[in-house]
C-alpha cells in the first residue's frame, strides 16, 4: 500500500471558504473564552469580517478556473459568483441577526434554548436582556457550508457541505425568543424531514458511485458518456435530485417550507429563504450540468415536472394564506419553480443562457426576499412580530415608508418591470424559450399572474384599508436593519433598471470547469 499523498490545496482559490470557516471557528472560541458582556459586538464583528472578507476574496478571484483539493473543489465562475452572492446575503443576514433596537428584550433569539418553553425559568429569561451569541458562529458555519456546496466538484464533498449547511439551520430555526413552541416545532420538522432528504441524497450518491465508479462529477460525466445511463445511475440521480430539491424547497418537497419559515425567527427565515436557495440551486446546477449535462434526457423530464408542480403549488396555495410569512414561503416555492425554468434552459454542449439566467435570478431573488423578510421584523405588536395579514391593513397610514418599501419588494417578487424581479424572470424565461420549453414558460407566466395576485393583495391591504384600531406598531429599526433594507431596496431597483453589469458578470461567469 502506497503512502497517501496529501491533497494539493490552492489556498488562494480557497480564500473565500477559509475566511468564512475561519470566522466560524474563531467565533466558537470567542464563545468559550470571552466574557458575556463583550461577546455580542465581538461576534458580530467576526461574522461580518468573515462574510465580507469572503465576498472581497471572490471578487479578487474573479476569472479563476481551477480544480483543487484533489479534484474535490471546483473554483470556477459559477462557484465564485454564487459564493459571492451567498457571502453578501450572509453578511446582510448577520446584520439582521444583530438587530437589537426592535424588541424590548433586545434580541430576536432566545437566551437559553434548552430551557423548556413556558417554564418559570423561561419566563425569567424572556424579559432579561441576556442575548444569545452562539447564533453567529452557527450562521457562519451555515454560510461556509453553503459556499462549499456551490463549489463541490465531488458528490461526497457535496454531501458534507449539505450537512454543514443544514445542521446549523436546524438549530437556528428553533431559537426564536417569542412563540418558542412554534419555533421548536419548526426546527424538529425541518430536522426530521431534512434527515430523510439527506438520507436520500446519500443513497443516491451510493448508487451513482456504484453505477459510474466515481463520485467526482467529471468522472461521472465521462462514465455517463462511455457507458450510457444505466438504471442504477438514473435511480441514483433521482434520489440525489430529491435531496437537493428538498433544500431548494421545490414542490412536492416543499411541505416543510411554510411551517419552518413561519416558526423560525424572521431573521433566520430571511437567511434561509435567500441564502439556502442560492446554495441549493448552485449545487443543482453543478450536478445536472457538469455530471449529467451530456445525458440531459435523464433529468430534463423530471426537472420539467418539478418546475411546473412548484410554480403551480406555490402560486395557488399562496392565495389562501393569511400569514405574511407563510405567504412569502409559498412565494419562495413558486420562485423555486421559476428558477427551475432557468435550469431547463441548458442548450446542447453547455451553451444556452440557462446558467447565467438562473444565477442572475438567484441574486435578484435573494436580495429582494431578504429585504421583504427584514421589513417583517419591523411590524410588531405586544406579542412580537405581527405577521397576520389583517394586522397589515392600512399600514400605509401608520408608516408610509415601510408600506412603500414593502410594496416595492412585493412588486419585485411579482416581477413587475423596473424591478429586479422582472429582469430575473425575463432572463430565465428567455433561457427556457431558447431551449424550446414553450409550455413551461406559458405555465410560468400563468403562475406569475396568480402569484402577482397575492402580492398585490398585500399592497392593496396596506394602502386601501382602514388600519385596525389596536393594530401593530412599526418599530424604528436600528442601524443594522436600516443598512439591510437600504442595500436590498437599492439592489432591487438597480438590478431592475440597469442590470447590465451584473447580467454580463453572470454571463461571463457561466462556465463550469471540472
Partner 1 sequence: MGLLLLLHLLAAVGAPLLVRWWGRQAFLALALVPAAAFGWVLTRLGTVVGGGEVRETLSWIPALDLQIALRLDALALTFAALVTGVGALVLVYCARYFEPDEEGVGRFAAVMTAFAGSMLGLVLADDVLVLYVFWELTTVFSFLLIGGSGAKLAGRRAASQALLLTTAGGLAMLVGLLMISGVSDSRLLSEIVADPGSGPVMVAGTMLVLAGAVTKSAMVPFHFWLPAAMEAPTPVSAYLHAAAMVKAGIYLVARLAPGLADVPGWRPVVLGLGVATMLIGGWRSLRQNDLKLLLAFSTVSQLGFLITMVGAGSQELAAAGLAMTIAHALSKSTLFLSVGVIDHATGVRDLRLLSGLGRRMPVLAVIATLAAASLVGLPPFLGFVGKEAAFTALWDGGLPDRVSAVVVLVGLVLGSVFTAAYCARYLWGAFARKPGLPDSAPEELEHHPGPLFLAAPAVLALAGLAAGPASPLLDHLVVVYAETLPLIAPEAEHLALWHGLQPALALSAVTLLGGAALFALRSQFTRLQHRLAVGASADEGYWNTLQSLDRLAVLVTGTTQRGSLPTYLGTILVVVLLVPGTVLLARTPWPDQWRAWDSPLQALVGAIVLIAAVLTVRIKQRLSAVLALGITGYGLALLFVLHGAPDLALTQFLVETLSLVVFVLVLRKLPKDIGARHRPAERTVRAAIAVCVGLVMAGAGAAALGARTATPVSVAIPELALEEGHGQNVVNVILVDIRAWDTLGELSVLVVAATGVASLVFLRRRTGAVDRASEEEASGGGDARRAPKAQWLSASGTLAPQRRSVVLEVATRFLFHTIVVFSLFLLFSGHNDPGGGFAGGLVAGLALVLRYLAGGRYELGEAAPVAPGLLLGGGLVFAGGTGVVALLLGGAVLESAYLEADLPVLGHASLPTALFFDIGVYLIVVGLILDILRSLGAEQDRQEDEEDPIDAAPDEVIVR
The residue assigned the cell 451530456 is 294
> By C-beta, is 321 or 368 nearer to partner 1?
321
> By C-beta, is 6 or 37 nearer to partner 1?
6
Smallest separation (angstroms) from partner 1 to the CB of 53: 27
Smallest separation (angstroms) from partner 1 to the CB of 455: 12
- For residue 252, cis peptide bond before it (omega within 30 degrees of 0): yes
Taking residue 2's Cβ as centre, other Cβ atoms within 10 Å add up to 4
Site residues for partner 1, 368-427, by CB under 8 A, read: 416-417, 423, 426-427
Smallest separation (angstroms) from partner 1 to the CB of 479: 29
- Separation CA 514–CA 70 (nearest Å): 12
> By C-beta, is 37 or 231 nearer to partner 1?
231
Residue 202 contacts by C-beta under 8 Å, 6 or more apart in sequence?
A: 159, 243
Binding mask 206-245 for partner 1 (x = CB under 8 A): xx--xx-x----------------xxx-xx--xx--x---
Size of the site for partner 1 (CB under 8 A): 72
Instruction: Count CA within 13 A, CB hemisphere, residue 392.
Output: 27
Smallest separation (angstroms) from partner 1 to the CB of 235: 4
Binding mask 113-142 for partner 1 (x = CB under 8 A): -xxxxxxxx---------------------
Per-residue buried b or exposed e for 319-355, using 16+ beta carbons within 10 Å of the residue's own CB: eebeebbbbbbbbbbbbbbbbbbbbbbbeeeeebbbb
Smallest separation (angstroms) from partner 1 to the CB of 200: 7
What are the backbone dihedrals phi and psi of residue 105, each rounded to the nearest 5 degrees, phi first?
-85, 15
> By C-beta, is 63 or 252 nearer to partner 1?
252
3-state secondary structure 81-148: HHHHHHHHHHHHHHHHHCCCCCCCCCCCECCCCCCCCCCHHHHHHHHCCCCCCCHHHHHHHHHHHHHH
What are the backbone dihedrals phi and psi of residue 13, each rounded to the nearest 5 degrees, phi first?
-70, -20
Site residues for partner 1, 295-334, by CB under 8 A, read: 302, 316-317, 319-321
State the cell numbers at 270: 430571511
Site residues for partner 1, 432-491, by CB under 8 A, read: 433, 438, 441-442, 445-446, 448-449, 452-453, 456, 460, 463-465
> By C-beta, is 207 or 474 nearer to partner 1?
207
Binding mask 74-113 for partner 1 (x = CB under 8 A): --------------------------------------x-
- Separation CA 308–CA 322 (nearest Å): 24
- Separation CA 501–CA 484 (nearest Å): 22
Binding range to partner 1, per CB under 8 A, among 138-146, 255-263, 361-369, 486-494: 255-263
Binding range to partner 1, per CB under 8 A, among 69-77, 79-87, 194-202, 380-388: 194-202
One of 142, 197, 344, 402 touching partner 1 (CB under 8 A): 197
> By C-beta, is 129 or 504 nearer to partner 1?
504
425 with 415: CB under 8 angstroms? Answer: yes
Site residues for partner 1, 170-189, by CB under 8 A, read: 185, 189
Amino acid at each position: 500500500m502506497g503512502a497517501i499523498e496529501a491533497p494539493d490545496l490552492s489556498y488562494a482559490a480557497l480564500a473565500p471558504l477559509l475566511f468564512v470557516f475561519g470566522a466560524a471557528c474563531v467565533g466558537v472560541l470567542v464563545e468559550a473564552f470571552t466574557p458575556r458582556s463583550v461577546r455580542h459586538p465581538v461576534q458580530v464583528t467576526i461574522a461580518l469580517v468573515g462574510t465580507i472578507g469572503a465576498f472581497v476574496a471572490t471578487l479578487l478571484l474573479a476569472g479563476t478556473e481551477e480544480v483543487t483539493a484533489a479534484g474535490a473543489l471546483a473554483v470556477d465562475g459559477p462557484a465564485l459568483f454564487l459564493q459571492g452572492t451567498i457571502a453578501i446575503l450572509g453578511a446582510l443576514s448577520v446584520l439582521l441577526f444583530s438587530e437589537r433596537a426592535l424588541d424590548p428584550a433586545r434580541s430576536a433569539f432566545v437566551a437559553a434554548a434548552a430551557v423548556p418553553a413556558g417554564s418559570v425559568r423561561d419566563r425569567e429569561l424572556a424579559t432579561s436582556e441576556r442575548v444569545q451569541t452562539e447564533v453567529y458562529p452557527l450562521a457562519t458555519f451555515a454560510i461556509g457550508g453553503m459556499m462549499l456546496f456551490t463549489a463541490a466538484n465531488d458528490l461526497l464533498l457535496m454531501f458534507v457541505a449539505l450537512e454543514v449547511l443544514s445542521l446549523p439551520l436546524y438549530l437556528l430555526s428553533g431559537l426564536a425568543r417569542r412563540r418558542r413552541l412554534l419555533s421548536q416545532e419548526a426546527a424538529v420538522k425541518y430536522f426530521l424531514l431534512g434527515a430523510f432528504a439527506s438520507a436520500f441524497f446519500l443513497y443516491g450518491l451510493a448508487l451513482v458511485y456504484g453505477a459510474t465508479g466515481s463520485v467526482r462529477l467529471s468522472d461521472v460525466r465521462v462514465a455517463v458518456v462511455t457507458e450510457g445511463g444505466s438504471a442504477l445511475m438514473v435511480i441514483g440521480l433521482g434520489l440525489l435530485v430529491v435531496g437537493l430539491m428538498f433544500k431548494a424547497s421545490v414542490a412536492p418537497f416543499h411541505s416543510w417550507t411554510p411551517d419552518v419559515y413561519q416558526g423560525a425567527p424572521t431573521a433566520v427565515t430571511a437567511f434561509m429563504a435567500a441564502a439556502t436557495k442560492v446554495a441549493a440551486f448552485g449545487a443543482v446546477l453543478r450536478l445536472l450540468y457538469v455530471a449529467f449535462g451530456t445525458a440531459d434526457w435523464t433529468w430534463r423530464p423530471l426537472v420539467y415536472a418539478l418546475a411546473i408542480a412548484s410554480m403551480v403549488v406555490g402560486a395557488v396555495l399562496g392565495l389562501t394564506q393569511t400569514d405574511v410569512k407563510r405567504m412569502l414561503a409559498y412565494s419562495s416555492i413558486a420562485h423555486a419553480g421559476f428558477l427551475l425554468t432557468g435550469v431547463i434552459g441548458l442548450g446542447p454542449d453547455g451553451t444556452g443562457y440557462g446558467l447565467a439566467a438562473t444565477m442572475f435570478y438567484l441574486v435578484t431573488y435573494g436580495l429582494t426576499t431578504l429585504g421583504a423578510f427584514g421589513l417583517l421584523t419591523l411590524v410588531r405588536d405586544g406579542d412580537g412580530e405581527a405577521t397576520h395579514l389583517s394586522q397589515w391593513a392600512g399600514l400605509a397610514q401608520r408608516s408610509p415608508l415601510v408600506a412603500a418599501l414593502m410594496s416595492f419588494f412585493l412588486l419585485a417578487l411579482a416581477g413587475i418591470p423596473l424591478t429586479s424581479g422582472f429582469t430575473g424572470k425575463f432572463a430565465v424565461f428567455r433561457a427556457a424559450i431558447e431551449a424550446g420549453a414553450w409550455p413551461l414558460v406559458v405555465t410560468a407566466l400563468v403562475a406569475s399572474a396568480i402569484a402577482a395576485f397575492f402580492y398585490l393583495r398585500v399592497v392593496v391591504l396596506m394602502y386601501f384599508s382602514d388600519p385596525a384600531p389596536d393594530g401593530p406598531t412599526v418599530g424604528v429599526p436600528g442601524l443594522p436593519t436600516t443598512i439591510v433594507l437600504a442595500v436590498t431596496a437599492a439592489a432591487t431597483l438597480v438590478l431592475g433598471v440597469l442590470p447590465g453589469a451584473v447580467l454580463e458578470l453572470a454571463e461571463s461567469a457561466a462556465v463550469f470547469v471540472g
